[in-house]
Chain A
Amino acid sequence: MNAPFFKFDMFSFDISLVVAFIIGIGFGFALERGGFGSARILASQFYFTDMRVLKVMFSAIVTAMLGVFFFVAFGWLDLSLVYYTDTNMIPQVVGGLILGVGFVVGGYCPGTSCVAAVTGRIDGALYLIGVMAGIFIFGELFPLIENFYSSTDMGRVFLPDYLGMSYGMVVLLVVLMAVGAFAAAEWGERKMAAKKSGVVK
């Protein structure tokens, strides 16, 4: 048995939708339990008063990265069959900035807005409508921005190849970066809390 199961025809396309549904539910549940259904918690990340988003994201990245690395090393996962988007540097930087602005203004990112909406938050539902409208407008305008959309195409790029390092080296660096970010976040939170209590006094 070897992953990715779908690519090895372990189940059909129809079943894959069921699998995706189950994984999606799990993902949403984890987001909700992490507190990501609340725009207040999400937005406070940008004011550095609550670093929960950073911690959850980095935990997820490090867990997934270590899992993939060792699964590949053990021969359980064929990474060449896993789908990756190509890198289009400039359009993706611009897209990231737009998403970031939307995140700060709306208080959600697309995934967390779904979580907020299904837990009954009105702002989440409105955000979701906005996401749909954005998708529609993007689709309608696509012919106009198609050239830009596919510009600076770098193909399928991986950090180790791009930086000329080994995969293990990049894994270690990301782990250290995450641990460092965690420590800094905890330190920052204590500072902020002290400042706040000082103001109250």
Chain B
Amino acid sequence: MKLLNFILGLDVKIKLAAIAIFLGLTAFIISDPFDNAHAKINVKELALIVQNEVDHVNVDELADWIIKSKTDYRLVDIRTEKEFNEYNIPGSENIPITSLFDGQLARNEKIILYSEGGIHSAQAWFLLKAKDFRNVYMLRGGLEEWKDKILFPKLGVNASDDENARFEIASAISRYFGGTPQIVSGNEITVSVEIPKVAPKIQTPTGSAAGTAKKKKREGC
């Protein structure tokens, strides 16, 4: 009681100084306010997103964006550096899944993830979502589907006119990305699949981690 009265009787500035010192000591104990290792998630919200499939980008959509040189997104290859160097989608950057939280990505960017298939990118998507990244998408089917549909589109021998017409377009896109359209006869698969060498020379304005991103907000004073 005496102590309480003593504290209440103190000058306001002494009280404020004491609060500041208390908070300062707490900060000292916390030491690092950036916790990159833990997250709290809203499972319901995430489940809804998954169910509604609003978190996917199709390979043909992505191909279209690259051809049109859209720059409002960042295309992130989450495979290892070695795999990235063997082949990657033009305009992509390599951030292995273990380095996702090293500060290269910002929470307000539109991020498209891809991996070999779809599993790793789905897992990375979940991690980023849990860390409150707003616009994260994954490439449906991953690099496998990219190769299948974009680089090496296939046409059966007995294709209809409609299929032929679509194949024409697919072939043009395929050649744009340095791929080879395939014509498959029957069950025989005698196609020579040659992965184009690292990033065919296509002018994409994407590049360094900082440069891409979406239209930069005006800032500074």
Contact = CB atoms under 8 A, between A and B. Distances in A.
B103 to A, nearest CB: 6
Interface in B23-47: 23-25, 27-35, 40
Q: Is the interface of A mostly helix, strand, loop or mixed?
A: helix
B108 interface: yes
Contact of B34 (A62, A66, A72, A85): A72
Nearest to A73: B33
B24 A175 contact: yes
Contacts of B175: none
Interface stretch (B91-99, B138-146, B212-220): B212-220
B17 interface: yes
A175 B23 contact: yes
Interface string A173-197: 0111011001000000000000000
Query: Interface majority SS on B: helix, strand, loop or mixed?
Result: loop
Contacts of B28: 166, 168-169, 171-172
B15 interface: no
The size bracket of the interface on B is 20 to 34
Contacts of B195: none
Given A69-B27, A167-B33, A171-B27, A7 B108 contact: yes
Given A175-B21, A176-B21, A182-B13, A79 B27 contact: no
Contacts of A69: 27, 30, 33
Contacts of A182: 13, 17
Contact of A171 (B17, B24, B34, B134): B24
Given A13-B218, A166-B31, A169-B28, A66 B108 contact: no
Interface of B: 13, 17, 20-21, 23-25, 27-35, 40, 103, 106-108, 132, 134, 217-220
Which 7 residue pairs spanning A and B have beta carbons closest together?
Answer: A175-B24, A73-B33, A171-B27, A168-B31, A83-B219, A172-B28, A72-B33
Interface of A: 2, 6-9, 13, 62, 66, 69-70, 72-73, 75, 78-81, 83, 85, 166-169, 171-172, 174-176, 178-179, 182
